[in-house]
Amino acid sequence: MNIEYMGLKEISGPLVVIDGVKDASFEEMVEITVGKNKRLGRIIQIEGELCVIQVFEGTRGISLENTHTRLLGKPLKMPLSMELLGRVLDGKGRPVDGLGEIYPEITRDINGEPINPVMREYPRNFIQTGISSIDGLATLIRGQKLPVFSDSGLPHNQLAVQIVRQAKIEDDDEAGFAIVFAAMGVKHDVAEYFRESFQTSGVLDRVVMFLNLANDPVVERIVTPRCALTAAEYLAYEKNMHVLVIMTDMTAYAEALREISSSKGEIPSRKGYPGYLYSDLASIYERAGMVKGCRGSITQIPILTMPNDDITHPVPDLTGYITEGQIVLDRSLSAKGIYPPINILPSLSRLMKDGIGKGYTREDHPEVANQLFASYAKVQEVKALASVIGEEELSETDRMYMNFGREFEEKFIAQDFSENRSITDTLDLGWKLLRLLPVSELDRLSPKTVEKYYTRSDSEGGDF
Amino acid sequence: MERASQGIIYGINGPVVKVRGKQAFQMLEMVLVGHDRLIGEVIRVLEDETIVQVYENTTGLKPGEPVVSTGKPLTVKLGPGIMGNIFDGIERPLTRIADNTGIFIKRGSIMDNLDREKLWEVKILVRPGDHVKQGDIIAEVKETESVNHKIMVPPNVEGEVIETADDGLYNIDQVIVKVKEGRDIYNLTLVQEWPVREPRPYCHRLPLNIPLITGQRVIDILFPMAKGGAAAIPGGFGTGKTLTQHQLAKWANADIIVYVGCGERGNEITEVLEDFPKLIDPRSGRPLMERTVLIGNTSNMPVAAREASIYTGITIAEYYRDMGYDVAIMADSTSRWAEALREISGRLEEMPAEEGFPAYLPSRLSEFYERAGRVENFNGTTGSVSIIGAVSPQGGDFSEPVTQNTKRFIRCFWALDKALAYTRHYPAINWINSYSEYSDQLEGWYRENASPEFMDRKTEISRILQEEGKLLDIVKLIGSDILPEEQKLVLEIAKVIRQGFLQQNAYHEQDTYVPIQKQYLMMDSILRAHAGASRLVALGIPVSVIRKSGVFEELIKMKYNISNDDPDAFEKLNSKTESILNEIESDYRASGRVNEV
């Protein structure tokens, strides 16, 4: 039954075209033999007997004559079992750690299937990361997809590692937790940094690593996040584990998509990215969440670099439209030596409104967060004014804002890489800072909250 | 079905499938593709090839598989069972799909759109011998506690009633009325079908002079929406489009809400599904879900069905309009729908216009928005469809094609602003860039129902905000200390308007929905305080003194301190403001520090 097709009709970038194919199905996997080595490919377009195939290992060394191709009769599937934990796999989900093949309990199509919105559980459980700017102002919720927008030279990897180390993913129930790490086009030392950090924090045997490094084939990147999420879905929805998925770098993923699109001769939309970039990214990000009848969850922290720090670049832009908020790192804060350099104004967690406050974190949390945002936004206005007229010319209130802004950045946003603050510490810190401003400036607080928390300062060990 | 035209798959490219073979497919006909019988729609007919967009994932399809025609365009089933339910983009019931296939949506789940087993309590309203024509109401069904579903004669049917069933319990397939026209006999059931891409007919259009009251101050006062109008909410990510849409779906005074989640987040649909059954409609006292239908085609569901979801939604909206209801449809987001068009267009290798969007984008947008309107129906009732479309401009840039083309076909533009959202000023509707062209038409209603002075008050508020905008430009350069006292007062009052009036807390029990009367009184109190303070400033009393007295803070807090059903409290607030101001004045006069004018 296994017909082999000799030779190719056309080669273009990572794509090859074969003619005379019988009985191929859309998105079926093929095996291309070049000399002695075998490469995997996937059919991405069928036109009668012509098939367009994307070759995961790239087309280097392939000529029109030196190949024979076999159809594998199935879409790309991922072998799944509990053995995955602690393993290192390549971008297509095959083990590269020399520990042998994974004996599958089941295999799954890596494309997954859309979750029926009726079956979703609305995420509400707060995850304490121990980082004030996230816990206080852009709270991470279990089952959320919260990307980190960054750029080269900024400490997004440290931040992700700190979250992994400090996040209290373990719940009281026995569900257990796992980390799925997918690297797309990152440098070897970055991947190594993550591996080491997992090791030092003692979670390595709970991590599944998918590595497509910078020098690995570009096309493989297209399937890396899908393999990773297929593994995550298995662990979350079949093994009831709380899974944290870290995907870096989504921009490299999108670039791979663009490369294939242009090889196919598709009509580009913005900056050469294909028109379906949004749908494609959504098919990845929307695989986060919680579902009814399952204790497990998938929380995604994708990391992406904004080329030229431009948040309106198509990749961060479309990501922001799909994910439930974003954490934005800022170069000027980083230059001031502030770690983590989170710019809180564009940062946002859409799910925090239902996961904080009374019964979740503390009753004053929503108001404190709102007030800190509003006051810090005002600081920016005052700063702009100060840069024109000079700080001495500012009114008394405006000078208070300048002081508040400095303290806020140095005491609240900045914290040590190993500092793990509880949510109570974070909120109390927020109050200490708000007390630097006169109560008449705090317009987002209800009178009740002001009375209970603002005026408490003396008993609470004073101000700065 | 055996004689139906059939072809075989020739090529596959994502959701686009090329079909060859016997050619008798009609344009926009619904077809079943492959052995799994996936639902598709014919979008191009060539001499020897037909192109079909498939509403499901095409992985695993093979050339040579059959494509069967259904002989009818993509239609929706209209009848009892729609309200309170959730469907995908082509009206498949997601709840029952979940019962069958669990967490994930599997392919080829062909299901009945409406529950065919359920028995409805039907009250027949016609008798044999009656002459009926399209749109006439022949029966009534209590669909939910809030919605009385009127069974109508389908369009293009007219004749004499020759037989009726008795009042009682029927499922949607049972014949309840037989109508004879010439030699044809029509068996009417509780359902009818309608092709989604075709507007349902009506008698004639009516002027748009009744507002759609939303309980949101910035909308109702500054940029009002008319029943039967069309509005757009553009905004970059994180500016609160969905939050605003949810607020409107919750509180707008429409009888029926159709909420289309088009290519957006799954959790947002889940949120509506969880919240709406718990929220109580302030007018009927019943859960909001009873008057709501959700169309959920999230971003990870097939893209072609996303394109169809907008039409499915508007067709359902028109159907309830025909019963004489005021319907509001929220489409979140029309940009995702436009992107679906672009994606399909790209796969067809059509020549693109701006940013890869097809050249027919404007005409598709106008066709959609023109389906809004307030009309007189064939059965003599009046109903309306109001469209509120969210737009997600790439990079938050309003000059992109979807925003620009949408602007041409809507008359109410609620521009969401990133800077406001950063300061957590919600709803982040920018009062400088937004507009409503319905204001003038609605003037009469506001004069009659809110206050005769309404328009003057509103103009005053807009004027202060405009002036603040100009002053802030100066303040940015030189600081506010140098401004003359009158201008400082403008800044102070504008701050009160922004924080006390325009900002509205969607999570506050009282503030989430504010009746129009309270909105007016709030506006009135602010302007009274302004007048009083202006008098003092003219006497040479500095604004800082007035500010220290706390009058402005009191005004900012009135949205929380005064409950929605206590209009008398404004009297007290106004007299308190006045007495504080008078006290300051007499203090100054006593010490002889006032300028006599």
* CA atoms of B6 and B24, how far apart (whole Å): 8
Element (H, E) at A88: strand A88-90
Residue keyed to tokens 């006999």: B185
| Higher per-residue confidence, A430 vs A169 | A430
Using the Cβ of B397 and the Cβ atoms of chain A, whether some distance falls under 8 Å is answered with yes
Mean pLDDT of B397-416: 94
User: Among B159-163, B194-198, B560-564, B576-580, where is mean pLDDT lowest?
Assistant: B560-564
* CA atoms of B419 and A115, how far apart (whole Å): 34
Of chain B residues 219-248, which have a CB less than 8 A from chain A? 236-238
Mean pLDDT of chain A: 90
Mean pLDDT of chain B: 91
Q: B256-271 as b/e, with b when 16 or more CB fall inside 10 Å?
A: bbbbbbbbbbbbbbbb
Pick among B267, B473, B544 to test the A interface (most A CBs inside 10 A): B267
pLDDT of residue A281: 95
pLDDT at A462 over 60: no
Q: Kindly list the residues from chain A whose CB atom is less than 8 angstroms away from the CB atom of residue B478.
A: 388-389
Which residues does residue B373 pair with via DSSP β-bridges, in sequence order? B385
Using the Cβ of B197 and the Cβ atoms of chain A, whether some distance falls under 8 Å is answered with no
pLDDT at B94 over 60: yes
| Higher per-residue confidence, B124 vs B348 | B124
From residue A258, give the alpha-carbon distance in Å to each of A112, B218, B515: 22, 42, 51
Using the Cβ of B57 and the Cβ atoms of chain A, whether some distance falls under 8 Å is answered with yes
pLDDT at A154 over 70: yes
**Minimum distance, in Å, between the CA of residue B131 and any CA atom of chain A:** 44
Q: What does the block give as tokens for A382?
A: 């005052």
User: Among A339-343, A369-373, B265-269, B496-500, where is mean pLDDT lowest?
Assistant: B265-269
**Minimum distance, in Å, between the CA of residue A324 and any CA atom of chain B:** 8
CB contact under 8 A, B57 and A289: no
pLDDT of residue A464: 55
Facing B94 at nearest CB: one of A118, A266, A282: A118
Per-residue confidence band for A168, with pLDDT thresholds at 50, 70 and 90: low
pLDDT at B4 over 70: no
Report percent pLDDT > 70 for chain B: 98
* CA atoms of B148 and B290, how far apart (whole Å): 11
pLDDT of residue A173: 54
pLDDT of residue B356: 85
| Interface confidence (ipTM) of the complex | 0.87
In A323-461, which ranges are continuous DSSP H helix? 331-335, 352-355, 365-389, 396-407, 423-434, 447-453
The DSSP annotation for A231-263 comes to HHHIIIIIS--EEEEEEE-HHHHHHHHHHHHHH
pLDDT at B400 over 60: yes
Contact B422, A326 (CB under 8 A): no
DSSP state of B412: E
Facing A286 at nearest CB: one of B60, B266, B340: B266
Contact A146, A323 (CB under 8 A): yes
Sequence-separated (6 or more) residues with CB below 8 Å from residue B164: B124, B126, B127, B128, B176, B177, B178
* CA atoms of A252 and A264, how far apart (whole Å): 19
Per-residue confidence band for B144, with pLDDT thresholds at 50, 70 and 90: very high
Mean pLDDT of B242-262: 93
Domains and CATH numbers, chain A: 4-74 (2.40.30.20), 78-354 (3.40.50.12240), 365-460 (1.10.1140)
Long-range contacts of A449-454 (CB under 8 A, 24+ apart): A449/A364, A449/A367, A452/A364, A453/A364, A453/A368
Burial of B400 (0-12, 13-18, 19+ CB in 10 A): buried
Q: Give A78-115 pLDDT, tens digit per residue.
A: 999 999 999 999 999 999 999 999 999 999 999 888 99
Q: Kindly list the residues from chain A whose CB atom is less than 8 angstroms away from the CB atom of residue B14.
A: 276
From residue A239, give the alpha-carbon distance in Å to each of A101, A167, A243, B166: 21, 20, 10, 55
User: Among A125-129, A384-388, A398-402, B478-482, where is mean pLDDT lowest?
Assistant: B478-482
Facing B298 at nearest CB: one of A114, A270, A446: A114
Mean pLDDT of B461-486: 90
CB contact under 8 A, A113 and B104: yes
Q: Kindly list the residues from chain B whose CB atom is less than 8 angstroms away from the CB atom of residue A122.
A: 267, 270-271, 274
Mean pLDDT of A260-281: 88
pLDDT of residue B249: 92
At residue B262, φ and ψ (nearest 5 deg) are -110, 100
Going by their DSSP bridges, the two strands A242-248 and A297-305 should be labelled as: parallel
CB contact under 8 A, A269 and B274: no
Per-residue confidence band for A428, with pLDDT thresholds at 50, 70 and 90: very high
| Higher per-residue confidence, B236 vs B150 | B150
Mean pLDDT of B545-572: 90
pLDDT at B121 over 60: yes
pLDDT of residue A58: 86
pLDDT of residue A461: 45
DSSP state of A409: I
pLDDT at B2 over 50: no
pLDDT at B275 over 90: no
Contact A284, A225 (CB under 8 A): yes
DSSP state of B46: -
How many interface pairs between A and B have CB atoms less than 8 angstroms apart?
219
pLDDT of residue A171: 53
Q: Kindly list the residues from chain A whose CB atom is less than 8 angstroms away from the CB atom of residue B102.
A: 116, 119
pTM for this model (two decimals): 0.92
Q: Which residue of A has its CA nearest to B101?
A: A116
User: Among A168-177, A400-409, B85-94, where is mean pLDDT lowest?
Assistant: A168-177
Contact B440, B200 (CB under 8 A): no
3-state class (DSSP) for residue B75: strand
User: Among A87-96, A259-268, A372-381, B134-143, where is mean pLDDT lowest?
Assistant: A259-268
Q: Give B431-450 pLDDT, tens digit per residue.
A: 999 999 999 999 999 999 99
Q: Give A8-60 pLDDT, tens digit per residue.
A: 999 988 899 999 998 899 999 999 999 888 999 999 999 989 999 999 888 88
Mean pLDDT of B319-324: 96
At residue B335, φ and ψ (nearest 5 deg) are -65, -35
pLDDT of residue A460: 47
Report percent pLDDT > 90 for chain A: 65
pLDDT of residue B217: 96
Among A239-243, B316-320, B344-348, the range with the most confident prediction by mean pLDDT is: B316-320
Facing A26 at nearest CB: one of B61, B107, B339: B61
Q: Give B276-292 pLDDT, tens digit per residue.
A: 888 888 788 899 999 99
pLDDT of residue A36: 87
Per-residue confidence band for B597, with pLDDT thresholds at 50, 70 and 90: low
Facing A320 at nearest CB: one of B237, B266, B339: B237
Rounded CA Rg of chain A: 25
Mean pLDDT of B178-182: 92
